[in-house]
Each structure stands twice: as structure tokens, then as C-alpha cells.
Structure 1
């Protein structure tokens, strides 16, 4: 029994390490924005693509990544993801142009998707009791919080000392160790025959790419541009095609009936909204510090550190809170706190003190980490037997789609080559109605089923 518990903790550590890499990479790049702008000679839209290309690939592949894990085994697909992510990190550091960097970032995103979708599936199989699973998800989310905490500071120090490529090279030792340890430690899981849908995968990837292109290009040339209108139409057509294909398919990519579960639908939507708000805020505030306050990369990293520390601590304790109270209460508290912080940030100006910006940032960080593990717990508790991988893929795809939309949509308000405070205020304001919607969904669709007692559905 003792050896079994040691093996479970070792597997949790390795799976969380993979998530650490993925999250570290997302946050490190934000403090490299000014360095990338000068080194590669790109404008604001180019910086958006350096971030969005990763999250587009991440979000687009997550659904198939979960299905691949169900079919071939989550351990095997997880290890392939770690390998691909590590190699792609090397290519990112070697990039000499924006197109090559975007290409390497896409490969990174694919590797990240293979890891993350199957990490939750592995944890679901290893930790079978709802309460202990909630704690494991809390640890997993907490490790992501640690990555968010260390990423900006570590990135700032590395970039100042060795240049922006080091922000990607830092993944190499983690990736090599995680792959070796995963092969030795993580147990094999039962596989479930599941068809892979390449056409559906292409449609959802195209829709996400067109969505990002629409908002990023609109921020550069305006909404009146024929390119923007064409991209928006193509996005809508691809999304409609995906929905139609799923409706008529005998074995759709998304399990039939999963979205009829109200709590699952609500938690998935909330997952999208919280990532949109948080990563959009992170992109905006990082640019504010670097272009308005003229902070260096190291100073920017330390400026972002307190928010990330709060996120790391909150995520660890949130898993325990979910196990005791159910996911609904942490979701309500987290969303309310984040909404307060985002509204507060709307009053930031060029003369605002660091403390005046820090307090609402801390509220946003606390709210994000209080909400995220709870949404995962709701979704994974709604999974049917043999569908852990695809269910994990759905919630993570929703969250990463939110990340894409956050950078693309909020970034479109900032201007073309010059960051504007007016644009920043508008960008933050557009998140307010989304969080009101998230609160309503949680109140009416999550709390009735996942309120003060944790559901035993798993």
C-alpha cells in the first residue's frame, strides 16, 4: 500500500512538471515582448502572434489530444507531447525571424496540448476518489501557479543576462527530466477505441486561427478592412461546419450529450472566460509596465511576481477547499474577486503608483486560481467512463481558446504600434459583462449540483 502511494505521488509530480513547463513558457514570453520587438523588428500585432500562435495550436489540438490518449493510452501520448514540446522549445530559441518563431511556437502548442489533455486523464485514473482527486487537481493547478510565479522573474533575469532565446531554452532540462521520469514512473492506463476526426480537427483549428487573425488584424487596419471581414466570415463558416459535422457524425469528436449536463457546460464556459480575462490582462499589464512605465524585463518580472505568488498559494489551497465545500463556492468567490480586480484596473493611468496597480492585480490572481481548479473538478466529475481524455480535452480546449481570445481581443483595443491607455481601459472593460455571465452560470447551473457537498459522480 505504501509503495502504491509513493508511486501515485511520483506520478502526480511528473504530470505536474509537464504542466509546469507549459505554463512557464506562456508567462516567460510576456516579459520578453520588448526584447522580441527590438530583436525581430515586429510591431504590436507581431507580438500578439508570438503569443497567439502557441495558444491557437494548444487549443485546437486539445480535443484530438484527449481522444488520442483514450485510444492509444494517456501515458504514451503524454510522453510524445513532452518530447515535441522540448524539441520545439529548442527551435524557438534558434528563431531569427517572426515566421520561424511562429512556426516553432505552433509545434510547442501541439506538444503542450498532448501533455495537458492527458495529464488530467492520468490523474483521473490514478486518483479514483472524488475528494483525493480534487486535491490532486489542486496540486496540479498549484504547480501551474508556481510556474506563473517563477516565470516572469526567471524570464526577466535570463533575458537580461542571455537574451530572449534563453526564455525558451529554460524548458530543455525540465523536458528531458520529465520525459525520462514519466517513462519510468507513470503507469499504463486502459485504452478505449475512439476514432480520430481529422476534418473536424482542421475545422476547429481553422476557426480559432481565423478568430485570432480577425481581432489582431482589426487592431492594425480597423474593422472596415475587407481582410478583417473575410477572416470573420471564414471563422464563422469553419465553426458552423464543425458544429454541423459533429451533429451528423455517428461518432463525433465531442461525446454526445455531454453539453446537456448543465454543470459541465457552465464550467466549460467559465473556464474559457477566466482564461480570456486573465491572459488578456497579463498581456495588457505586461505592455503597460514595459511601454508606459518603461520597466526593464527584470523589473517587469518582479512587478508581476506578487500576483503570481498569490496564484500559486491560492491554487494549492483551492484543491482542499473544493474537496470540503464542492467546486461551486470557490467558483463564485473567485469570479467575484476577479471581476472586482478587473474593474479596478480600468482606472490605471500613467501616473499610477505600482501599489495602485498591484492591489487589483492580486485580486485578479487570487480569483483566477480560486476558480480554475474548481472548473476542472466539475468537468472531470461529469466525465463518463472511458471518456476522461476527451473530457479533459474539452475543458482545456475551452480554457486555451479563452487565452487566444484574451490576447487577440484585448490586444486589438491597444492600437497598432503604440500602446494607449484609452485602449487598455476599453480592453479591460469588455471583460466585465463576460464575468457577470460566468457568475450567473455558476449560480444557476453549478451550485445546485456542486454546492456545499462534493458530488461523487466520477
Structure 2
């Protein structure tokens, strides 16, 4: 197939688009204390200012990818960018926490149109397998980079402007992406089959209910009736969706793809990597601001080494993948992330920033770069080009669900340990029961309570937080270590067409249901 002459400049347009929606996963985190003051937002409202975006984004990804395949990926990218710009501006105008939550939910819907379209267009823009892998490596690097850029850019904006700036900053970049995106070639599935309305509704219900249950589990309790019912209904919805898809000749998602070891193992690797990453970022942003006393700008800049290493190592990961195969590279990446979390678990109150803190983030950054690009290439390479949008949506959904699980599980673990230990510390100093109950809610609340008691109480709260931080780091380390072992067992080193002695012509689409050997 002919190669598009402007494919590399157009890749920059796709990367800018994905950067916009991924940054919004984390940029708002550093603004939460400001939003609490300016909008008089409760703890629950602050949580939903963050989670409304994630919930709607994750819930609509599969449907958006499917519709982009049917009606045109560039069309959906453009519509998503316009909607993202408008909803960002409306969010900046919010005067209550409820309005901002609604705005964030609308931004999540717009982001769902953008994200799968970028990877779907990339797959059809780069027809050569090696070039496509390199482009996916850059795309994945930008996605990982954006997670760390969020706190940095948020800190810079809040240092000089009001909280509204973290949303208004999206608008000029949206305009730039729309103007440059006019040169993107349109692509779609030429034989999409009948529209699967029931499958579309089922995917939204299954993913949305699962994400909502995970988000709310720390509040209701992991063993509460609400949480258990939510998980039971999620399992039922997923089972119903799979059954319906398996019976259709033209499904929204061909669930038989999960028989392909590269597709399923690649999806699992992405889920594990972003579980660990989002869980750690949730903890470390609180660590920098509450324990080390950094302001929003300094806390954001403290994550910059992570972002720089991800940006540098992501293209290198693709080179290594071609030389060594996906299995070794992805397993090494997950093992490196596990090592970073283990090192973070040894962090103490007096640990030097330019010591084990930076060293742990560098191990995580190298690991994310080695995992994300090659695992994404494994997922997309298992699909025919016509299904690139829904394949991209599977890849994106694993990131979002993995990240949401990471924040919920790691955050809940950290909070449980912190709450127990801070209660012991304050009870030992004779603090009243009401004060102890307040202190258990969060590190910020704990420091406020302890400040009215004694310096020893403040130290006790900080030590309790570090106990929770270390436990949460162990959880992330354990999951990524298990995932690394699973990759060694289940992820084939190469795509089937790469592994054969006589490769197929470039314009022959490999059978997505035949696993690599």
C-alpha cells in the first residue's frame, strides 16, 4: 500500500489530540484544594470532579470506537475536539461544584470520541508494520507522558492564574488540532454490518457500572451490600454483553479476539501498568504536598523526571521490541515498574528527593515506556485495519479501567492503613474521639487536627501516612510483578506474520483469531 507523504506531521496532530484528553485525567488533581476553597466543595464533590470525567470517558469508549469505524474516524475526532473545547470552556465558567461535575462528565463524553479515533487513524495512516509500530510507540509515549504532565501543567497554571485556567488552557490547543487535522485522511470500516444497538447499550452498562462500583467502593466499603451488588450486576452485564456479541455475525466487539494471546495478554499488561501508575500518582501527589510541604507548582515539577524519561524511552522501547520481541520487553517493563514501587515502599519521612524518590520514579517511567508501546502494538497488530477504532477503544478502556482500579484499590488500602495508624497515634496522645474520627478522613484533615494538639501529633499523622503510602506501593509492586510473570507465559514474542519464515505481503491482513507462535 502507498505510504501517506505527510504521515509523520499528521502523527503530531494525533498526539496533540490524545495529549489533551489524557492530561485531563490528572491536571485537575493539583487544583482540588483550590476548588475546595473557591467552590466550597465537599470531599465527595471533589472526588466526583475527578471521577465524573473517568466514569463517562471509560463507559463510552467502546461505543465511540465502534461508531468511528462505521461513520468515519476523522469525523468523530473533529466532533470530539469541538465538544471538548466547548465543554472545557463551560467547565471553566462553573460557579458551583455541581456545575463543574456536570461539565467534567461532558468533557469525558467528548474525550471518548477523540481517544479511539486517534489510534484508529494512526493504524490506517501507517501501512508499513515497522513504521506503524514506531508511530504507536510515540503515541503510547505521549499518552504516558501526559499522565505526568498533568500535575506539572496544573501546578504552573495555578501558580499564576485562577483554577479556571486548568480548563481554559484546552481551548487554544483544540483549535490548533482542528486546523491541522483538516489534512488527516478519512478512514472507516467499508463493511460494518448491521448496527448493534443492544451491544452498544450493553457495553456502556457493563463498563460504566464496573467503573462506578470501583470508584464508590472505598466510600461504601469493599464488602458492603452496595459494592457487592454493584460487582454482581457488573459481572452479569459483562456476561450478557459477551453472550450477545458471541451470537452476532457482525458484533460491536468480536469477543473471539481474546483467543489471540497477543490481544488478550497485551490488554492485561496495559491494565496492570496503569493500575500501578494511577495508584502511585494518587498517593505521591498527596505525599509531595501534605508530607513534604510542596506548593502546587513544586509538587507538579517533582513529577517532571518521570515525564521526561517516558518521553525518551518510548521510541527506544519499539526498537527493542523489534530486536528482542514483545515478550521480553513488556515483561521487563512490568518488572521495572514493580521494582520502582518496591523502592518507593522503602521511602521514609527524611528520604531525599534526589535519591530513592527520583530513582523509584525513573524505574516506573522506564517500565511504563517498555510496557505501553509494545503492548499497544500487540493489541492493534492482532486486528484488521477496518476494526482499528474498536481495537483502539479496547486498548483505551483497559487503560482507564486499570487506572480507576488502581486509584480505588491502592487509595483504599492506603486510607485504611493511614486511618488505623493515625487513630492509634492520636489516641496515645489523648486526643478526643471526635478529633480522631476527623483525622482519619484524609492526610489534610489529619494535619489540621494534629496542628491543634501538638508537634508530636503532627509527626504521628505524617508517619501514619507514610505507613499507608508504603502499603499502597506494595500492592502496586505485587500486581505488576504478577503481570510480568503472566506476560512471560502468555504473550507471544511477535505477530504471526512476523514470526513466519515467509512473511505475508504488506497489504494482506492477518487473521486476528490466529495467535502468534
Q: Same fold (TM over 0.5)?
A: yes
Q: Which moved more, 1:19-28 or 1:216-225?
A: 216-225
Deviation track 1:209-242 (CA, whole Å, cap 9, x = no partner) reads 4434434444234345443333333333333332
- CA distance in structure 2 between the partners assigned to 1:41 and 1:454 by the alignment: 59
* 8 Å CA contact 1:82, 1:175 repeated in 2: yes
Give the 3 Å change call, closer, same or farther, for CA 34–196 of structure 1 in structure 2. farther
User: How much has 1:395 moved relative to structure 2?
Assistant: 1.3
Match of 1:282 in 2: 281
Residue number in structure 2 paired with 1:361: 361
The farther-off stretch of 33-42 and 62-71 is 33-42
1:237-248 aligned within 5 A = 237-248=236-247
Match of 2:441 among 399, 417, 438: 417
Q: Does 1:118 align with 2:111?
A: no
What TM-score does the superposition give when structure 1 sets the normalisation length?
0.91
For the 8 Å contact 1:212–1:408, the answer to whether it is kept is: no
> Offset of 1:286 from its aligned partner?
0.8
1:340 paired to 2:364: no
**Alignment check: 8 A CA contact 2:3 2:126 kept:** no
CA–CA distance in structure 1, aligned partners of residues 19 and 473 of structure 2 = 27
1:384 aligns with 2:384: yes
| Residues in 2 aligned to 1:89 and 1:190: alpha-carbon distance in whole angstroms | 28
Could you tell me how far apart the structure 1 residues matched to 2:106 and 2:194 are?
23
| Corresponding position of 1:393 | 393
Q: Which residue of 2 aligns with 1:441?
A: 486
Whether the 8 Å contact between 1:324 and 1:454 is mirrored in structure 2 is no
Q: 1:75 to 1:201 in 2, by over 3 A?
A: same
Q: Alpha-carbon deviation of 1:26? A: 2.1
Which segment is superposed worse, 166-175 or 395-404?
Answer: 395-404
Structure 2 Cα separation of the partners of residues 218 and 19 of structure 1: 29
> 1:153 touches 1:302 (CA, 8 Å); kept in 2?
yes
Instruction: Measure, in 2, the Cα distance between the counterparts of 1:379 and 1:76.
Output: 24
Q: Which residue of 1 aligns with 2:50?
A: 51
Residue 373 of structure 2 corresponds to residue 373 of structure 1:
yes
Between stretches 439-448 and 398-407, larger displacement belongs to 439-448
In 1, are the aligned partners of 2:4 and 2:126 still within 8 Å (CA)? no
Question: Residue 211 of structure 2 contacts residue 404 of structure 2 at CA under 8 Å; is this kept in 1?
Answer: yes
> Deviation per CA, 1:401-420, whole angstroms, max 9, x where unpaired?
11221222222234373133
1:18-417 aligned within 5 A = 18-42=17-41, 44-148=43-147, 150-183=149-182, 185-192=183-190, 193-355=192-354, 356-415=356-415, 417=441
Conserved? CA contact 1:81–1:112, under 8 Å: yes
**Deviations 1:245-290, CA, capped at 9 Å, x for gaps:** 3333343221142111011110011111111111111111111212
Task: Pick closer, same or farther for the CA change 1:393–1:208 going to 2, 3 Å.
Answer: closer
Question: Cα distance 1:71–1:218, how it changes in 2: closer, same or farther (>3 A)?
Answer: closer
Does the aligned pair in 2 maintain the 1:85–1:112 contact within 8 Å? yes
**Any stretches of 5+ residues in structure 2 without a counterpart?**
416-439, 444-464, 504-508, 511-517
Measured on the aligned residues, the alpha-carbon RMSD in Å equals 2.6
Cα gap change, 1:3 to 1:408, in 2 (>3 Å): closer
Deviation per CA, 1:83-128: give whole Å up to 9, x if none: 1122221122222333322222222222222212111111111111
> Does the 8 Å CA contact 2:334/2:371 hold for their aligned counterparts?
yes
Rate the CA distance shift 1:84–1:230 in 2: closer, same or farther, 3 A: same
User: Which of the pair has more CA radius of gyration?
Assistant: 2
For residues 150 and 268 of structure 1, do their structure 2 counterparts lie closer, same or farther at Cα, with a shift above 3 Å needed? closer
Q: Which range is displaced more, 190-199 or 438-447?
A: 190-199
Q: How many residues align?
A: 455
* Displacement after TM superposition at 1:372 (Å): 0.4
- SS of aligned partner of 1:299: helix
Larger displacement relative to structure 2 (224-233 or 185-194)? 224-233
Partner secondary structure for residue 163 of structure 1: coil
**After the TM superposition, which of the residue ranges 148-157 and 212-221 deviates more from structure 2?**
212-221
Asked if the contact 2:285–2:299 (Cα under 8 Å) also holds between the matched residues in 1, the reply is yes
Query: What are the superposed Cα offsets for residues 318-361 of structure 1, whole Å, 9 maximum, x if unpaired?
Result: 23333443333321221110010112212233333323322111
Structure 2 distance, partners of 1:304, 1:67, is: 35
